[in-house]
Amino acid sequence: MIKQTIRYRLLLLTLIPPILMLLIIVSYFVYQDDKLMREALFDRGSSLSRYLSSVAEYGVITGNTQQLQHISDTLLQDDIVAMTIYDFDGRTILSAGKEPLALQVGANMESAGYCGGDDSRLMFCAPIKLDVMPVSDFESSNASSESTTIGRVELTLSTYLIEEKRQGLWNWSLMLITIVAIITLMVNRFMQRHLVVPLASLSNVVDKVRQGDLQAKVPEGASGELLMLQQGVNVMIDALADMHGHMQQEIETATESLRQALQDIELRNRDLHEERLKAETASLAKSQFLATMSHEIRTPLGGMIGMLHVIRHGISDRQQLDCIDSVEAAANSLRQLIDDILDFSRMEVGKLTLQNQLFNPLSVIEDVMRMFAPSAQQKNLHFVLNVDGTLPHEVVGDPLRFRQILINLTANAIKFTHQGEVVVSAGAVKRDTQRTVRFEVCDTGIGIAAEKQELVFESFTQIDEGDARHYGGSGLGTTVSRELVTMMGGDIGLESELGKGSCFWFELPWEAEESQPESTEAANVLLMEPHESSARAIAAMLESEQIGVTRVTTITQMELALRDRVFDWVMVGVFVHETTNRQLLNQLDQELPDATRLVHLCYVNGERQEGGRIEHLSKPVLPSVLHQLLQHGGGQVDEDETDKVKDLVVLLAEDDEVNARVITHFLTTGGHRVVRVVNGAEALKVMEDHHFDCVLMDMRMPGMDGLEATRLWRSKEGGDSHLPIIALTANASDEDRERCREVGMDDYLTKPVESQRLLETLVHYCR
């Protein structure tokens, strides 16, 4: 291949350039010679035509055709092939030689010079003029210069002499090109023999070496640089042969060592496999242990928390209520710790999964605010919710895990803040072209030093040992929150300064499905809120309802504002002194016009005034509660959905006595009847003999558990009837949820069961 390529390229390089150059030179000289000959022919034709017109003057005047014939016989030779003479009227006097060109120019008596032609002949014309000779010395000189046209002569010349010379030039050119080509081929032949053949031989040897033949040698028959190249290649082949032998020996040694190492690795892999099986068995046992212990601990703990709710309704003593609050707070902390440990264990083994469903993030945020409002009030903290109008009303995500993140961050903020405020903010932000929802929990607590901020999200880590002893906690809340945010595809971080507070934030790339909020009637509000963050948040909520807001911070400013205009609403926040607050409300109740609605912004469990037209709005102010208040004009709101469904017959399958008493109390208080059994077999028997509106089925019971009982009931249940079965579980893990769905349960409730959540679930499935 290389030989053929070099040969063809050498042939092209030695043959084409000289021949091409020779063609260009020959073409140029042939063109110039042809041009000169045509110019000479044109000059000769013009001169002969003018000469003929001069000598033919007498013959035309006298009509002497013999003279004209003699002139034509004399001229018609060599390349002059035809001659035609016309009189003044354009009649032909004489036509001699071959047939003249039919150019129809005889009528133009004054035309002179070249008149036309074709590839083989050229015609030249000249007028025959009569020169008037003066006959008297007295005639004007101008008159003597005038002449009269009396005829015309046409002379036709042949171009065969030019063609003969041109053909001769091309013949000599072709002969010269042939000679040059022969010489070039001879030179190319010589170069191929002394250059191409040695290179081809060298290429063949290199190809053999590439294929592994290290015994091949290049024949050293060239000279000069090619000989040096051939010798160098042979030396290189010898060196490669020596290196190959040395490498082969080393490869054999390395192969033997590798074989021995593989045997050792195989033995180690067997040991590692056995250890891995032991570790997986231990991990499975740990997971089962955690799940079992979580259920066993959460079941009595849930019963204890539920029983505290039952006891609370029958106690009015403030000191006893404080004791119940303390016990309930400790129980909730223990439950949260168990949840964090279980979630952390699932994260370690990669078994924690997320659910995707449509929900309202504002509803989850408001639930968390209600949950922590008593704790914040107990520490005299301003607890504020600041919701941006860009927060989407519906997103697709996991509401349970989102709630868990908010609970962890909010609980930490309240725990580490002794005075000031805790502000929860939410709103949508733009990140490049993606819409991201951002949440912030900011406080004015102890803060975190810059060098310790990176430890905040580490497992079982507090910012220092002193804080761990003073504040308590496992340090898992922020770790679990970080892992959950990461699983949701978001980011989490914090900004903090020691002694000035902290701000934890996280962003979630939720797909927002925007919906327009229900608008209220046009109104104006006078807002007197001494706390700046609360005032800004409430004003933003009112403005999102298209309501005009006038903000004041003192009683004097409020009196001036009321003197200038009439407001539809007057909202008064809590002052430091309760006496001042009570007096101001009573005064406003008496002085404000009847059309003005008076709202008291009070704290949870704070003292409220009865009678009059004073409405009480608990702080932190929630957008949904404020919207409902504005929609109903301060009057009674719609009846709770749970009050619309009464007198349901509910089957409760629960083996734990305390939990059964708590759930029974919630149901009977809600106006429903309860039948209780302690295992799945009893539940199936009762379900076959009696009609129930709903079944609350514990997942773990002695004998037949709730899952097996539900599976058997669904297999026998007719297609026209469907009995709602709600699972009761102390461990709402992803595995338990999936198992509930597989056996046909409609929903599940996590212990400890909340009264409102239980009644709302019954309304949803039994309406």
Tokens of 754: 């909340």
DSSP state of 656: -
Tokens of 639: 């009846």
E strands present in 336-475: 357-359, 382-387, 395-397, 421-431, 434-443
Provide the CATH topology of domain 2-166: Beta-Lactamase (3.30.450)
Domain ranges across the chain: 2-166, 217-352, 353-508, 524-636, 642-766
Cα separations (Å) of 183 from 179, 197, 258, 278, 501? 6, 20, 67, 90, 99
260 φ/ψ angles, rounded to the nearest 5 degrees: -65, -40
Distance of CA 145 to the CA centre of its chain: 98
Count the Cβ atoms, other than its own, within 10 Å of residue 193: 10
Query: What residues have CB less than 8 Å from 286, skipping those under 6 apart?
Result: 345
Q: From 3.40.50.300, 3.40.630.30, 1.10.10.10, 3.30.565.10, which CATH number describes the 353-508 domain? A: 3.30.565.10
How far separated are the first and last CA of the chain, in Å rounded?
A: 89
Q: Is the backbone peptide bond immediately before 752 cis, with ω within 30 degrees of 0?
A: yes
Fold match, 217-352 / 524-636? no
Integer Cα distance of 562 and 588 in angstroms: 10
Its pTM stands at 0.53
Q: Which pLDDT score, from 0 to 100, does residue 47 have?
A: 85
Parallel, antiparallel or unpaired: strands 147-158 and 80-87: antiparallel
Q: From 3.40.50.2300, 3.40.50.970, 3.40.50.10190, 3.30.70.270, which CATH number describes the 524-636 domain? A: 3.40.50.2300
- pLDDT tens per residue, range 78-122: 778 888 888 777 788 888 877 666 554 444 666 678 888 777 788
Please, are residues 699 and 736 in contact by the beta-carbon 8 Å criterion?
yes
Q: Which pLDDT score, from 0 to 100, does residue 647 have?
A: 83
Q: From 1.10.10, 1.20.272, 3.40.50, 1.10.287, which CATH number describes the 217-352 domain? A: 1.10.287
Query: What residues have CB less than 8 Å from 711, skipping those under 6 apart?
Result: 743, 744
Q: Which pLDDT score, from 0 to 100, does residue 426 have?
A: 93
Output b/e per residue, 160-173; b: 16+ Cβ within 10 A. eebeeebeebeeeb
Tokens of 562: 């009321």
Sheet of strand 524-528, all strands in order from the earlier edge strand to the far edge: 548-552, 524-528, 569-572, 597-603, 614-619
Parallel, antiparallel or unpaired: strands 491-497 and 434-443: unpaired
Q: Which pLDDT score, from 0 to 100, does residue 636 have?
A: 41
Residues in the chain: 767
Integer Cα distance of 708 and 689 in angstroms: 19
If the chain, 767 residues long, is cut into consecutive pieces of 10 residues, what is the mean pLDDT of each piece?
60 76 82 82 84 81 80 78 82 77 55 77 84 56 61 83 80 84 80 72 77 77 73 80 85 90 90 86 70 66 69 65 66 68 63 78 90 84 89 86 90 90 90 81 90 72 49 67 88 90 91 55 83 90 88 88 88 66 80 84 56 76 86 51 72 88 87 91 91 90 90 82 86 73 87 81 83
Q: Which pLDDT score, from 0 to 100, does residue 164 have?
A: 80
Q: Is 288 helix (H, G, I), strand (E, B) or coil?
A: helix
Query: What residues have CB less than 8 Å from 69, skipping those under 6 apart?
Result: 94, 96
Sheet of strand 121-131, all strands in order from the earlier edge strand to the far edge: 92-97, 80-87, 147-158, 121-131, 113-117
How many Å is the Cα radius of gyration of the chain?
57
Cα separations (Å) of 268 from 256, 264, 281? 19, 6, 20
Integer Cα distance of 163 and 153 in angstroms: 26
Torsion of CA 588, 592, 596, 599, to 10 degrees: 0
Q: What is the largest CA-CA distance in the chain?
A: 167
Q: Which pLDDT score, from 0 to 100, does residue 139 have?
A: 52
Q: Which CATH architecture has domain 642-766?
A: 3-Layer(aba) Sandwich (3.40)
Q: Is 470 helix (H, G, I), strand (E, B) or coil?
A: helix
Integer Cα distance of 335 and 751 in angstroms: 10
Distance of CA 501 to the CA centre of its chain: 37
Output b/e per residue, 67-102; b: 16+ Cβ within 10 A. bbeebbeebbeebbbbbbbbbeeeeebbebbeebbe
Integer Cα distance of 655 and 396 in angstroms: 36
Integer Cα distance of 135 and 316 in angstroms: 165
Integer Cα distance of 513 and 394 in angstroms: 5
Tokens of 336: 């949260």
Integer Cα distance of 548 and 542 in angstroms: 7
